[in-house]
Amino acid sequence: MSTTQAPWPPEIDQYTIKFLIGFVALSLPMVELVLSHGGIASISESYWYPDSRWSRNIFVGSLFAIAALLSSYNGTDAKQLVLGKVAAIAAVLISIFPCNCGSDAHEIVKGVHGASAGVMFAVLAWFCWDFIQRAKTKLHDERKTAASRRIIIYQACGLGMLVAIALFIAHAITKDDRLVFWGETFGLISFGISWLTASHKLPVITHPSERETLFGFERTQSGTPAYPAQRPVEPIAPAE
């Protein structure tokens, strides 16, 4: 009995999940600033921006998309699996419990939005550290140049996450809303860049032996897709 190969992979792989997470996180601050014409004091204020429902839709939709992707990411060990789920829950709580910021704003449950944002950015800062540790395992072979470049990016992104958390704490003390805007911007951009880097889809910072195609598979000369499982398997260090 003959079998035919499915025309497309049945699911996206971890690298495509990382790429999508990074793309959404990196896009969110810029999209919200455009939709609000610069009229928001924080990214979270997009929920309450009075002149455009698009700003709320994009804000909530992006966070739910990030949450769905994080919840589907099982990582390469138990810590990544669990903390990915924690960050996913935090992203959902951020979106459904808006901040007390902007006109006609109010908190459904006081403190949930800020606490959830702190948890999510703290978990994502840990991911930057974990990505660094995994990249370091590749510094002893031909992949070391690309791995070294990724380590520098992860370090910068981890620092950006810590700056974001520090700005949130400073806001809690001073009540200066400008600190929230910069904290969210530092956090989301650092988050997005680190996960795009870990997707192994970007040239220069990824060795050819680890390079992933944009959609997670590539066409062969016969026109059929080549799945990752069909590639020659070589012992390599754990993926970032």
DSSP output for 169-188: HHHHHH--HHHHHHHHHHHH
pLDDT at 230: 45
Which residue is it, tokens 């959830």?
A: 116
- Stretch (H or E) spanning 218: strand 218-219
Judge whether 197 and 23 are in contact, CB under 8 Å.
Answer: no
* pLDDT mean by block of 10 residues, the chain; 240 residues: 56 89 95 87 88 89 96 92 96 92 79 90 94 94 94 96 91 85 92 95 91 64 46 53
Q: What is the model's pLDDT at position 217?
A: 55
pLDDT of residue 10: 66
Report the pLDDT value the prediction gives residue 218, as an integer from 0 to 100: 56
- The residue type found at 192 is G
d(CA 91, CA 228): 30
